[in-house]
Structure 1
Amino acid sequence: MVQLIVNVIWPILFLGLGLCGLAFGWLVLLWVLVFRLWKQFKSIDKRAGYLLVPYLLWLTFAGYLNLSICLMGY
């Protein structure tokens, strides 16, 4: 549940408020939470764990984009 709440807040920080630095830190927190969720799911059912891999990849790409935008000064 915590992961879902953190997920909802990230676009508000990044897109709504334009706080790209804080949004990047928030995205790192989200990545860690999803990674922990992946480990829990994987220990219960490997297929469920595999279903979270694309989400982790997406979060990694979103983090790359978020950080790139911050470094470019937008």
Structure 2
Amino acid sequence: MPLYEFKNNDTNQDESHFFTITERKNFLLENPHITQRLASPPYGDSVRLGIRKIDNSFNDVLLKAKGAHLHSTIETK
């Protein structure tokens, strides 16, 4: 079941609930003072977060891209 984000328009408080799609629809119908908020998924790029390093074979890809473009500013290892 996905986690949905809601805003209570009466109190301006944010709420999170686990619902099936049908349960979410029923919840919104029964609670007209609550609106669903668009929330970003909790995913992150492990390389950009510093958890995992790029392997050395990707450096070959960067070298090919740099060689194909005369004025490239791509930095390689």
TM-score, with structure 1 as normaliser: 0.29
Larger strand percent = 2
More RCO (CA 8 Å, sep 6+): 1
Rg bigger for which structure? 2
